Amino acid sequence: MSATESEMAKPATPLLNEPMRRHTSWRVGGPADRFYEPASVAELQEILAALPRATPLTWLGLGSNLLVRDGGIRGAVIATGALPRDLERLDATRVRAGAGLPCALLARQCVRWQLGPAAFFAGIPGPVGGALAMNAGAFGGETWDDVERVTTIDRAGELHERARGEFTIGYRSVRGPEGEWFLGATFALASDATTASGLKAMLARRNATQPLGRPSCGSVFRNPPDDFAGRLIESAGLKGARVGGAVVSEKHANFIINAGKATAAEIEELIERVRALVEKQSGVRLELEVRVVGEPRRGR
């Protein structure tokens, strides 16, 4: 067996009790029992095949839409951040992107190729895998608008090619075959005249209205039909509301900022306060866009 083959045959070693605050954009979250960060699909397949079926799995992209509770995550976290950043132009209008490719790189290359609509991907902080899972959207575009097919991986490490029709797509919601996660997608695009300076202008407009330099998870709540969560929160007088280190942004009321040493429990408490006050004032019950995972710290 060559050195490379013997290295490949070694089972991947997880980080134990890895603090999830290192892997979430809110910079909060307790330890994950086991944290795997495979560098290739082959390594990921090996990890999945070796993990006992009873081990709970939590999939992680950039952690930009996740609130991990302070007690951390039991079982295994599979982080996709080190997977290859594949991007290939298949023909005149179709491109294939891997789950680990940052959406911003997809946007920039599609603008160079004069293909779109893909510039909106520049507004989504995470990689393609997380955007597929969330049907993330920005500037009026959504991830699944132009998906033709996706590659998924199941619990046993088997790969599947799936057509778009096998998924039910909604606003920040995607339902498909149970127990499968995204490894990449083929997008069917069209020719598009967005320029690099047009892209820059879109991002500048957004910078002016959102607190992008502060630790957050973007929009906390989904927009209710025909309204905006930010407008409802602002109308309830909640800009600047605070629990410990968690603060409702003054710049955009649907953002909660970790202003220092916030805990996940403080963020959750602020979320519930905002929800209760908005419901009392407007009758609208806001639904979460951010996904909450893990366990509260013991003793709470």
Ligand X SMILES: Cc1cc2nc3c(=O)[nH]c(=O)nc-3n(C[C@H](O)[C@H](O)[C@H](O)COP(=O)(O)OP(=O)(O)OC[C@H]3O[C@@H](n4cnc5c(N)ncnc54)[C@H](O)[C@@H]3O)c2cc1C
> Does residue 298 carry a catalytic annotation?
no
Residue 242 beta carbon to ligand X: minimum distance, rounded to whole angstroms: 19
Q: For the range 148-152, what are the long-range contacts, defined as Cβ-Cβ under 8 Å and sequence gap of 24 or more?
A: 148/94, 148/185, 148/186, 148/187, 148/188, 149/185, 149/186, 150/182, 150/183, 150/184, 150/185, 150/186, 151/182, 151/183, 151/184, 151/185, 152/176, 152/177, 152/180, 152/181, 152/182, 152/183
Catalytic residue among 27, 34, 172, 275: 172
Residue 141 near residue 216, CB atoms below 8 Å: no
| Helical ranges in 125-195 per DSSP H | 128-134
219 as an active site residue: the answer is yes
* Of 62, 73, 110, 229, the one binding ligand X by CB under 6 A: 62
Mark out the alpha helices in the chain (DSSP H runs).
Answer: 3-9, 41-50, 103-113, 128-134, 196-209, 229-235, 264-282
- Size of interface with ligand X, in residues (CB under 6 A): 32
Give yes or no for a contact between 235 and 218, defined as CB atoms under 8 angstroms apart.
Answer: no
Q: Which of 29, 116, 123, 294 binds ligand X (CB under 6 A)?
A: 123
Binding-site member from 131, 233, 253, 278 for ligand X (CB under 6 A): 131
Residue 38 in contact with ligand X, rule: CB under 6 A: no
Residue 217 interacts with ligand X (CB under 6 A)?
yes
Is residue 181 involved in binding ligand X (CB under 6 A)? yes
| 60 is a contact residue toward ligand X (CB under 6 A) | yes
Instruction: Scan residues 229-288 and list those touching ligand X (CB under 6 A).
Output: none
The one segment of 32-40, 154-162, 210-218, 278-286 that binds ligand X by CB under 6 A: 210-218
Contact residues for ligand X, defined by CB under 6 A: 25, 58-66, 80, 99, 123-127, 129-131, 133-134, 136-138, 181-182, 212, 216-218, 291
Catalytic residue numbers read: 172, 219, 289
